[in-house]
Amino acid sequence: MTFKDFDAEEKLFLRRVIVAFGVVVVCFGILIFNLYNLQIRQHHYYTTRSNENDIKMLPVAPTRGIIYDRNGIPLVRNVTWYDIAVTPYKIADMDALLKQLTPIVDLSPDDIADFRHALKSSSRYRPVVLKNALTDVEIARFAVNQFHFNGVTINSYQDRQYPYGAELAHVLGYVSKINDNDLKALDQKGLTENYAADHNIGKQGIERYYENDLHGKTGYQEVEVDNHGRIVRLLKDVPPIAGKNIHLTLDLHLQEYIESLLAGQRAAVLVEDPHDGSVLAMVSMPSYDPNPFVKGISYQDYGKLLHDKNLPLINRVTQGLYPPASTVKPYMAMSALLSGIITPQTTFFGAPTWTLPGTQRHYRDWKKNRTRYAGCH
């Protein structure tokens, strides 16, 4: 007959419980460590990977409408350029990157300063333009070294070009970079999303007045990207809608002819069709070349225009204030005739000076000591 050793069995059971408890504690410890490692220590890494493995919406800029004169002559052009852009979250050392790219795409101190300023107001997950209007040589140099630069891309875009330069600057105006004030205005109008793929917006003249028509509607591509940011496949493509073309009543040949007559002078000429009031020519001299404003005019060049004593930035047709002189006389005479105040035979004595009734203000004839009789006949 055998007897159980209860003490031994109890000790064995306790050892098993302790071992099992220890295993559970170790497992929980490993689990907690992994959770800590994933959620805290490697939070940024996995957040980045999660963002990279995503569906992205890529905006596609619309083609800006063309402006024509009354005879169908295009007054502006859309020209294709290339820029280089950086996606900040993919760059470990931004200073080192800029140093490496400087000799490849000929970065200037102004390029780098503008880029750093743009970084402050942009999402780190959206590409930020580093330099516009790359040359063929710069594009070729980057293409050879592109495998060194993850997160740096070259993209095509369209810019405005004004082939007639200063001749039409005060009529057409120009487009230029979207600034903070433009962004605020677009946000208030609920149009920010429609400019997601654009660099420029109309600033003056026809370009500004008809901005909503000329701009068009931004399209987009819905794409799937892998954890390296590479496009895996295109899921949806909504093409942009091109801006509307604008046809002016202005006659380019007449505009150029008047420009040639006023060369070297400070003057303004407005020619209208007397039948319908349509503008055939609008010339303000001197003028300026709008093309430098498109890519961003330098402070030095803008300062020269701003401080030019001839005031080329002023549109003398719309901003100048000039006395009407004798051009007002037929209108006043016609009003007086229609009102019965005078007759076609009424005459007036024109003394060298005229005093406004009730005042001591004397108005002199432009020709000294002239006296004459004037009437409607």
CATH of the domain at 147: 3.90.1310.10
pLDDT reading at 68 higher than 90? yes
Same-domain check for residues 292 and 334: no
Query: How high does pLDDT run on average in the chain?
Result: 86
Residue 246: its H or E element: strand 246-247
Write out the catalytic residue numbers. 326
Same-domain check for residues 180 and 299: no
Same-domain check for residues 233 and 107: yes
- 262, 269 contact by CB (below 8 A): yes
> Lowest-pLDDT range, 84-88, 334-338, 355-359?
355-359
Residue 293: its H or E element: helix 291-295
Amino acid at 44: H
Average pLDDT over residues 198-219: 94
Q: Which domain holds residue 285?
A: 252-306
* Domain presence at residue 329: yes
Residue with tokens 């009543």: 249
Same-domain check for residues 287 and 331: no
Same-domain check for residues 223 and 103: yes
Confidence grade of residue 354 (pLDDT, cut at 50, 70, 90):
confident
pLDDT the model gives residue 265: 92
Boundary of a domain, candidates 207, 231, 246: 246
Tell me if residue 367 falls in helix, strand or coil: coil
Same-domain check for residues 236 and 187: yes
pLDDT the model gives residue 56: 80
Other beta carbons within 10 Å of 100: 14
pLDDT digits (tens, 9 = 90+) for 225-283: 776 666 778 888 999 999 999 999 999 999 999 999 999 899 999 999 999 999 999 99
Contacts of 361 (CB under 8 A, 6+ apart): 355
pLDDT the model gives residue 365: 77
Reading the block at residue 86, the tokens are: 């950086």
* Domain presence at residue 318: no
Same-domain check for residues 137 and 191: yes
* Domain presence at residue 87: yes
Which one, of 36, 59, 33, 38, lies nearest residue 50 by Cα? Answer: 38
Reading the block at residue 161, the tokens are: 């070009």
* Domain presence at residue 316: no
* Domain presence at residue 106: yes
pLDDT the model gives residue 369: 66
Total count of domains within the chain: 4
Which one, of 113, 105, 64, 66, lies nearest residue 83 by Cα? Answer: 105
Confidence grade of residue 86 (pLDDT, cut at 50, 70, 90):
very high
Give CA–CA dist 146/207, Å, rounded.
37
Largest separation between any pair of C-alpha atoms in the chain:
158
pLDDT digits (tens, 9 = 90+) for 8-41: 667 777 777 788 888 888 888 888 888 877 777 7
Give CA–CA dist 288/267, Å, rounded.
14
Boundary of a domain, candidates 211, 226, 246: 246
pLDDT the model gives residue 127: 85
Same-domain check for residues 83 and 199: yes
Percent of the chain, pLDDT > 90? 46
Phi, psi (rounded to 5 degrees) for 72: 85, 15
Same-domain check for residues 242 and 335: no
Same-domain check for residues 66 and 212: yes
pTM of the model: 0.68
pLDDT reading at 2 higher than 60? no
pLDDT the model gives residue 44: 67
Same-domain check for residues 208 and 285: no
> Lowest-pLDDT range, 39-48, 214-223, 224-233?
39-48
Tell me if residue 263 falls in helix, strand or coil: coil
* Domain presence at residue 317: no
Same-domain check for residues 353 and 334: yes
